[in-house]
Structure 1
């Protein structure tokens, strides 16, 4: 039990607090170091989130070939027969297209099931048999053929049949019910396959199809002639000379359709503008951290210091204490340097020409802008018109995959930066979530673990020291009290 200084008249609690103030200085220092480490890890979290977002949500999109397509295709003549879309491998060859026939699906359509039939009609009401009723689809001929079967009970409805068949992805079928004609219709999802066969008692006994094979219209390939060459694609879509052609209807008497391909920088310009905007925002964030002012005289506040300050004072103080924690950080500085070097060194050779960012209208600002990019849209559009393939290769790499473009290179470089940050701060390389748990086996995680152990040990030691002070003061109070009692006794004798 602690005494309060009744005998001595001293304020024991205040004395012990004053004695412990100096003793607690090392503990306050450890807690301040811990706070700095935690703030630094939080700063890394924020930077990590920005890097992951730029890499996974921006670059991952930009590096797709469709985002840097520098060609467009147009149809003249019979515009109703086909639709077209230029790919990045378009070669600007003009094409004359004649559509003889469209590709079809294997289709079976039953006779009318009678008035009153709906999707909710039970199979048992269409056939008095007890079931089960089977439906099967087969594909292929001879040893390469395979069959898939379905079974239904008399209590199943037509809707149940549709749900089961359509819900089986591997069956590759589309089943519908024609409410107007009261017919069951089933089609193969693939076009041009004439080996698809439908069979089973569901068709013969319930839906009244005497000969399912004869009732099936076999799928047929399309027939199209392009620049005098005949093609028989198994679907209504094919790619020729880098142009994706979708067949819509037969040309017949309306005459052929003509496809013209030309350089078109609109899509590429849109992608490059978005990249530059996102890149500038990212390096602005990184540059603000590595150049942030550091206030060395503003250490994290102790709990005792906070008691004597207002909330606004605490907020302002901690704002400065947190400032500059990543100033000149090696990981961020190197990451920025790698991105700038990548952009300035990337180029594509074309004959005696070398095409780089500067030659297509992308330049950096002044030295004080720390690598900010600027775009001359007219110059980029002119470059695309003159050298479309080379501009595309500069950003997304060669079509044969032999060389990488700027987007892929930066995607890879950022992974290195994120890996280093994960090793140091324990951040997640693939998550933008700033609340996700940090890896405690990282460099800063281990430092924090060590600090927590030291704080715990020192706290226990200070508690023991404080208890010893109180024990000594208690002994003093007891001795004074005893002396006072003896003095009072002697006084009574001499009364």
Structure 2
């Protein structure tokens, strides 16, 4: 029990508070260090989020070959017969295409199931048989086929059959009911497979159909390209780096002609997006490593905040948080690595070579800290037209995969930066979430654990010291009170 100081006339709470002020200084310092450490980790988390976003959501997209496709293909002549799309491996060889036959699916079509038949008609009311009815899809040789069997009852409707057959992707078929013709139609999903067969009393008894006569076998396509016959199992094939989709058979004279040429529109669009995203990233990182540090603005204690307005607290803490990652080694080296990569990347061919500067991409003034500019778009377009393969290799690497381009190399370099940041601050290498928990086994996580332990130990010690002070003052008050009582008694005898 704490006393008020009535006997001594002293402000004991005030005295204890004053005596504890100096004692609490080490604890206040530890709490300030803890707050700074937490703020620094939050700053790392923000930078980590920006790096992950650039790496996972931007670079991961840009480094795909389709994003840097520098070729386009066009069809002349019979434009209805085919459609085309150039890939990054297009070699610009002109092609004449003659489509003799399209690839087809193995298809079974029943005869009409009778007037009045609907998708709600039960199997037991069709033709003959009381069920159960089976339906089997077979693929492969006659002697050892791969089978998939379905079973239905007489109370199942045609709609039930459709749901069951279409709901099993492993069967590799699609089933439909032609309401106008009252026909049940089954098709294999793959084209050109002659080994697909259908059987079962669902067909013979319920639908009254002989599967052998009602089935049309799937056939491979037949197409002649520059005089050479191709027989793809589907209606799509890639020749000379051009993806060709067969749409319609051609006659002997109405042929289609494919022309491929360099087309920088898609590549330039990708490069512009990369430059914009890269500049945004380095602006964020540069602002953090160059942020001014206000060392006199230390974290506020609860006592200090009592005498301040919300705006004053906000402004103070903004300065206290400023510059916590100034000249941070991880961020500075990450920025340097990206700048070095961009300036050193080049592709040699013969006695020539190309780099970013040679295709119209430059950096700004020294004070802009590596900001990129597409300073000459005409120059970039000309480079794509003259050396399309080399420009593509500069950014996404060689087509054979032996050499990485700028996008892949930067993707790898950023992983190094993110790994270092994760080891130090406990940030997540693959998440942009600013609320995700930090790894407490990281360097800073362990520092924070140690600080919490020291703060807890010191707080307990200070509580004991404070209690001792009150104990001492309590004893003093009791002694004074006793003395006063004795004095009063003596005074009563002498009075």
Partner of 2:230: 231
- Is structure 2 residue 1 aligned with structure 1 residue 18? no
Equivalent pairs counted in the alignment come to 494
- Separation in 2, partners of 1:146, 1:58: 44
Q: Are 2:98 and 2:255, in contact at CA under 8 Å, matched by a contact in 1?
A: yes
Corresponding residue of 1:9: 9
Distance in 2 of aligned mates of 1:441 and 1:328: 24
- Provide the C-alpha distance between the structure 2 equivalents of 1:161 and 1:310, rounded to a whole number of angstroms: 73
Pairing 1:159-198 to 2, within 5 Å after superposition: 159-198=159-198
Residue of structure 2 equivalent to 1:450:
450
Residue equivalent to 1:154: 154
1:464 is aligned to: 464
**1:397 aligns to what?**
397
Matches of 2:150 and 2:171, distance apart in 1: 10
- 8 Å CA contact retained: 2:127, 2:208: no
**TM-score normalised over the length of structure 2:** 0.98
- 1:322 paired with 2:321, answer yes
Query: Aligned pair 1:205/2:183, yes or no?
Result: no
Distance 1:352 1:201 in 2: 73
SS at match of 2:407: helix
Question: Residues 119-138 of structure 1: matches in 2 within 5 Å?
Answer: 119-126=119-126, 129-138=129-138
Note if contact 1:74-1:261 (Cα within 8 Å) is conserved in structure 2.
Answer: yes
Unaligned 5+ segments in structure 2 are none
Equivalent in the alignment of 2:476? 476
CA displacement 1:20-59 (0-9 Å, x = unmatched): 0110000000000000000001011111111111111111
Distance 1:415 1:89 in 2: 29
CA contact (8 A) 2:105 2:191 kept: yes
Cα deviation, residue 116, structure 1: 2.2
Which deviates more, 110-119 or 377-386?
110-119
Alpha-carbon distance, 1:144 to partner:
5.7
Distance 2:348 2:252 in 1: 48
SS in 2 for 1:252: coil
Q: Hey, what does 1:81 align to over in structure 2?
A: 81
Q: Secondary structure at the match of 2:85?
A: strand
> Residue 303 of structure 1 aligns with which residue?
302
Cα root mean square deviation, aligned: 1.0
3-state SS in 2 of match to 1:244: strand
Separation (CA, whole Å) in 2 of partners of 1:127 and 1:23: 99
TM-score by length of 1: 0.98
1:145, distance to aligned residue in structure 2 (A): 2.6
1:2-81 maps to which residues of 2 (within 5 A)?
Answer: 2-81=2-81
SS of alignment partner, residue 61 of structure 1: helix
Per-residue deviation, 1:493: 1.1
* Alpha-carbon shift at residue 333 of structure 1 (Å): 0.4
| Cα displacement (A) at 1:169 | 1.3
Contact 2:98 2:252 in 1 (8 A): no
Moved over 4 A (4+): none
Distance 1:127 1:478, change over 3 A: farther
Instruction: Classify the secondary structure of the residue corresponding to 2:472.
Output: helix
Distance apart, 1:254 and its partner CA:
6.2
Tell me by how many angstroms 1:213 deviates: 1.5
- Pair 15,415 (structure 1): closer, same or farther in 2 beyond 3 Å: same
Question: 2:51 touches 2:281 (CA, 8 Å); kept in 1?
Answer: yes
* Secondary structure of 2:137's aligned partner: strand
Deviation for aligned residue 1:253: 5.9
CA distance, structure 1, for counterparts of residue 469 and residue 157 of structure 2: 88
- Quick check: 1:282 aligned with 2:278? no
Comparing 411-420 with 249-258, greater Cα deviation is found at 249-258
For the 8 Å contact 1:104–1:220, the answer to whether it is kept is yes
Structure 1, unaligned runs of 5 or more: none
